[in-house]
C-alpha cells in the first residue's frame, strides 16, 4: 500500500495499520520502538540520503520509526522523510519530553493539525518531577484532544498503557481559523495533512498538486506557538514536591524574600575574599613590598643613569605619576590581584549557574533605572574597577542600556581602590553620618538612573536568560575563564593607563596641575564647605580614585566635612583610564557630555548636602530630605513612560531553561 509512495520498500499487509513514531531529537523514540517491535526489526535506506528508517511488526500492524525532527517540512532531509512517513500514517505515536514540553508540543500540535489520529507518550516524567515540574496529564489530554500516556521508558513504565492506547488514538483539536483555511484547500488536495503543508509553504508538496505554495508559514507557526505556550501555562506547575535540592535552592535564589538574604551572604563572602584577603593582604604584598620597595627604586635607578629624574622627561617616566613607575605599580601591584579576584568570583558564580539567577533576582529593580538584570554583572565588576566594568557593558542588549550603565558606573560606583580608603575614613564618623553617605550615593544612583530611563529615547531590552541547573563550579572552567578574561582586560586597559599617566605627568611638569588646584579652591571652600587643600584631593582623584580619598584622610575635617568630601570624591569623575575607556566605548561626543555632567553633579550634590546641613543644622534632617528624594525617584520610576506601548513580543518571557 504505502511503500512505493514513501520511496522505500516496506511490506505492509492490507489489513495492517501503519503506526509511526514521531518526536523531537533525543526524546527516546528508539526505546519505544524496541518496546513495541521486540527484536524483529528491519532497516531501509531512504533514497538519495544516508538516512536509515527502522520498521518492525507490532501485532498485525507495522511500526515505522522516523528521524527526530522539530517539525514536518522541507527544511532538511530528516524533515522531508518524517513528513512523507507521517502523512502516510494511520496512527502517530508522538513521543514528548516532559522536561521540554514548550519545545516538543509544537510538533505534537502540527501533527494534530494534519488530522491524523495521535497518541502522545509523555516521557521522562520522573526527570520533570526532579526539576520541580508537575504536569497535569489529564488536562493536557483534554486541551490537545488526544490520549496522553505518562511514561518513563527507560524503566518500562507506561509502555503497556501506551500499547493499549494505540487503539483509541484520535484526531485532536485544531485552531478554528486554521481549520477554516484547511477546509477550503482540503477539497482540492484531498488530504488534510498535505493541505496544511501547502498552506505552510512547502514547495515539494505544493508541486505534487500543481498549486502555488502558501506564504502563511510564519503566521501559522506563531499562532501554533501561542497555542502551545497557552497549553503549557495551564498544565505545568512549579512545585518543590519531589524536586532535587538543587532545583529547590535555584528557585529560592530568584524569589526576593529568600533570594536577597542568599545574595547578601554570597556578597559578604565575596567582600571577605576580595575586599579583605586580596585588597589588603595580597595587595599589601604586591603593591608595597614588591612594586614600591623593589621595582620602583630599581626602575628609577636604571632610567636615572640615562635620563635625570629632575627633568621633564624623567618626571614623566619615573616621577610621582610616572609611566614606568606609578602605572606599572598600579597595574601589576594593585589592579591585577583585584581583577583576578573579581573574575574568580564571577566565573565561579557563572559556572555554578548562580549568576543568571542574580540577574533574574535584580531584574525588577534594574528596570526602574532603564537596565535589566544582566547589568548586575558590570555593576559588580565596577566595585572592582570601573575601567573593567565599562568595557564589560558591551554585553548589554542595546545602545541605550550601555549608555545608562556607563554613566552610572562613572558617577556612582566606587572602585575597590577607593572603597578601601573610604572604609578607613568612614570609621572616623558616627553611624548617622555613615548612613547619610550610603543613602546619598544610593539616591544619586536611583535618581540618575530614573531620569535617564525617562528621558533617553527608545526602550531597553527585556531580560531573556536561560537558568541552567545549579551545580558546584568546576575548577578547570573557573580558572580558564579567569585567566582569559583577566589577560584580555589587561591587554586592553594597560595602554590606556599608560596614556592616562602620561597626560597627568604632562600636566604636572607644565604646572597645569597646580593651576587646576587653585581654580577649584573657591568651589571647595564656598560651596562644599571644605578646606582649600581639599582641591588637591579632587585633582588626585582624577589620577587615581584612591589617591583622592587618601588626600582627604590627611586633612583635619569635621564629621559633616568628611561625609561631604567622601560624597564628592565618590561621585567625582572616574580615574583617567576609565575616562579614556568611556571615550573609546561611547565615542567622543558622548564622552564630552558624560565627563562634564559627572563633574558638575559631583560638586552639585556634595554642595547640596553641605548647604542642607548648614540650613537644617542636623544630620537627621538631611537624611530625611535625601530619603524624600529617593522616594520621589522610586515613585517616578514606577509611573508609565508617556507614549509607552506594549512590546510586540509574541513569546512568553521564559525563566526556565529549555
What does the alpha-carbon distance between residue 498 and residue 488 come to, in Å, rounded to a whole number? 16
What does the alpha-carbon distance between residue 345 and residue 477 come to, in Å, rounded to a whole number? 12
25, 34 in Cβ contact below 8 A?
A: no
DSSP strand E in 465-552: where?
none
What does the alpha-carbon distance between residue 199 and residue 205 come to, in Å, rounded to a whole number? 10
* Least distance in angstroms from the C-beta of 553 to another protein: 45
* Least distance in angstroms from the C-beta of 110 to another protein: 9
* Least distance in angstroms from the C-beta of 255 to another protein: 24
Identity of the residue, 70 or 527, whose beta carbon is nearer to another protein in the bound complex: 70
Measured from the Cβ of residue 428, the count of other Cβ atoms closer than 10 Å reads 12
* Least distance in angstroms from the C-beta of 391 to another protein: 18
Identity of the residue, 284 or 651, whose beta carbon is nearer to another protein in the bound complex: 651
Q: Phi and psi of 152, rounded to 5°?
A: -130, 90
Q: CA torsion sign, 65 to 71 to 73 to 75?
A: negative
Q: List the grid coordinates of 496.
A: 590606556
Identity of the residue, 90 or 216, whose beta carbon is nearer to another protein in the bound complex: 216
Q: State how far the alpha carbon of 402 is from the alpha carbons of 172, 442, 531, in Å.
A: 48, 20, 37
Identity of the residue, 244 or 654, whose beta carbon is nearer to another protein in the bound complex: 654
389, 381 in Cβ contact below 8 A?
A: yes
* Least distance in angstroms from the C-beta of 462 to another protein: 8
* Least distance in angstroms from the C-beta of 101 to another protein: 10
Residue-level length of the chain = 658
* Least distance in angstroms from the C-beta of 459 to another protein: 10
3-state DSSP percent of the chain in helix, strand and coil, to 5: 65, 5, 25
Identity of the residue, 264 or 658, whose beta carbon is nearer to another protein in the bound complex: 658
* Least distance in angstroms from the C-beta of 222 to another protein: 5
Identity of the residue, 55 or 403, whose beta carbon is nearer to another protein in the bound complex: 403
* Least distance in angstroms from the C-beta of 398 to another protein: 5
Secondary structure (DSSP) of 38-74: TT-EEEEEPTTSS-EEEEEEETTEEEEE----SSSSS
Cell 555554578 found at: 352
399, 547 in Cβ contact below 8 A?
A: no
Identity of the residue, 33 or 106, whose beta carbon is nearer to another protein in the bound complex: 106
Running DSSP on this structure, what letter comes out for residue 523? I
Q: Which residues contact 503 (CB under 8 A, 6 or more apart)?
A: 576
Identity of the residue, 97 or 287, whose beta carbon is nearer to another protein in the bound complex: 97
Residue ranges that bind another protein, judged by CB under 8 A = 24, 70-71, 75-76, 100, 102-103, 106, 218, 221-222, 224-225, 397-399, 461-462, 464, 466, 647-651, 654, 658
Edge-first strand listing for the sheet containing 61-65 = 41-45, 52-58, 61-65, 18-23, 91-97, 118-123, 148-150
Identity of the residue, 477 or 654, whose beta carbon is nearer to another protein in the bound complex: 654
Amino acid at each position: 500500500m504505502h511503500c512505493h509512495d514513501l520511496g522505500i520498500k516496506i511490506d505492509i499487509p492490507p489489513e495492517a495499520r501503519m503506526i509511526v513514531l514521531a518526536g523531537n531529537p533525543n526524546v527516546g523514540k528508539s526505546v519505544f520502538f524496541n518496546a513495541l517491535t521486540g527484536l524483529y526489526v528491519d532497516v531501509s535506506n531512504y533514497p538519495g540520503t544516508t538516512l536509515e528508517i527502522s520498521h518492525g511488526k507490532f501485532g498485525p500492524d507495522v511500526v515505522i520509526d522516523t528521524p527526530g525532527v522539530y517539525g514536518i517540512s522541507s527544511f532538511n532531509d530528516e524533515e522531508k522523510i518524517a513528513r512523507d512517513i507521517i502523512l502516510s500514517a494511520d496512527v502517530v505515536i508522538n513521543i514528548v519530553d516532559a522536561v521540554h514540553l514548550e519545545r516538543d508540543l509544537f510538533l505534537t500540535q502540527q501533527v494534530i493539525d494534519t488530522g491524523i489520529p495521535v497518541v502522545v507518550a509523555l516521557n521522562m516524567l520522573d526527570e520533570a518531577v526532579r526539576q520541580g515540574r508537575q504536569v497535569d496529564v489529564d488536562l493536557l489530554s483534554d486541551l490537545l484532544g488526544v490520549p496522553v500516556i505518562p511514561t518513563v521508558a527507560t524503566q518500562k513504565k507506561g509502555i503497556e498503557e501506551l500499547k493499549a492506547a494505540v487503539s483509541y488514538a484520535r484526531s485532536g483539536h485544531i485552531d478554528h481559523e486554521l481549520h477554516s483555511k484547511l477546509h477550503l484547500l482540503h477539497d482540492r488536495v484531498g488530504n488534510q495533512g498535505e493541505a496544511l503543508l501547502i498552506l505552510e509553504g512547502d514547495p515539494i508538496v505544493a508541486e505534487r498538486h500543481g498549486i502555488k505554495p502558501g506564504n502563511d508559514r510564519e503566521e501559522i507557526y506563531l499562532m501554533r506557538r501561542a497555542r502551545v505556550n497557552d497549553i503549557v501555562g495551564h498544565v505545568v506547575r512549579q512545585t518543590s514536591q519531589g524536586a532535587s535540592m538543587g532545583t529547590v535552592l535555584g528557585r529560592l535564589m530568584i524569589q526576593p524574600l529568600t533570594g536577597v538574604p542568599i545574595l547578601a551572604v554570597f556578597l559578604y563572602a565575596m567582600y571577605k575574599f576580595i575586599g579583605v584577603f586580596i585588597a589588603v593582604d595580597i595587595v599589601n604584598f604586591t603593591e608595597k613590598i614588591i612594586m614600591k620597595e623593589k621595582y620602583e627604586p630599581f626602575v628609577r635607578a636604571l632610567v636615572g643613569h640615562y635620563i635625570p629624574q629632575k627633568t621633564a622627561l624623567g618626571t614623566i617616566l619615573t616621577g610621582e605619576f610616572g609611566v614606568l613607575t606609578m602605572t606599572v605599580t598600579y597595574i601589576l601591584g594593585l589592579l591585577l590581584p583585584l581583577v583576578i579576584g573579581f573574575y574568580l568570583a564571577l566565573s565561579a558564580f557563572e559556572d555554578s549557574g548562580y549568576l543568571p539567577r542574580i540577574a533574574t533576582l535584580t531584574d525588577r529593580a534594574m528596570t526602574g533605572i532603564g537596565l535589566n538584570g544582566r547589568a548586575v554583572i558590570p555593576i559588580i565588576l565596577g566595585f572592582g574597577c570601573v575601567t573593567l566594568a565599562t568595557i564589560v557593558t558591551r554585553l548589554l542588549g542595546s545602545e541605550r542600556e550601555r549608555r545608562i550603565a556607563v554613566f552610572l558606573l562613572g558617577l556612582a560606583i566606587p572602585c575597590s581602590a577607593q572603597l578601601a580608603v573610604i572604609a578607613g575614613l568612614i570609621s572616623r564618623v558616627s553611624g548617622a553620618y555613615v548612613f547619610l553617605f550610603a543613602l546619598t550615593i544610593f539616591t544619586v544612583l536611583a535618581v540618575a538612573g530614573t531620569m535617564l530611563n525617562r528621558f533617553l529615547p527608545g526602550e531597553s531590552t527585556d531580560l531573556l536568560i536561560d537558568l541552567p541547573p545549579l551545580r558546584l563550579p568546576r575548577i578547570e572552567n573557573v580558572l580558564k575563564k579567569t585567566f582569559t578574561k583577566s589577560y584580555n582586560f589587561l591587554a586592553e586597559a594597560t595602554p590606556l593607563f599608560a596614556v592616562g599617566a602620561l597626560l597627568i605627568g604632562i600636566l604636572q611638569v607644565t604646572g597645569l596641575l597646580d593651576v587646576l588646584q587653585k581654580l577649584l579652591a573657591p568651589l571647595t571652600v564656598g560651596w562644599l564647605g571644605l578646606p582649600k587643600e581639599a582641591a588637591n584631593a579632587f585633582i588626585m582623584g582624577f589620577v587615581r580614585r584612591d589617591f583622592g580619598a587618601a588626600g582627604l584622610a590627611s586633612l583635619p575635617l569635621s564629621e559633616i566635612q568628611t561625609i561631604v568630601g567622601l560624597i564628592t570624591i565618590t561621585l567625582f569623575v572616574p580615574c583617567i583610564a576609565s575616562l579614556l575607556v568611556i571615550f573609546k566605548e561611547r565615542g567622543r561626543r558622548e564622552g564630552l557630555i558624560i565627563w562634564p555632567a559627572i563633574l558638575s553633579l559631583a560638586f552639585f550634590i556634595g554642595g547640596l548636602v553641605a548647604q542642607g546641613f548648614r540650613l537644617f543644622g542636623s544630620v537627621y534632617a538631611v537624611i530625611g530630605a535625601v530619603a524624600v528624594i529617593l522616594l520621589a525617584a522610586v515613585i517616578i520610576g514606577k509611573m508609565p513612560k508617556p507614549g509607552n506601548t506594549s512590546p510586540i513580543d509574541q513569546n512568553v518571557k521564559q525563566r526556565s531553561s529549555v
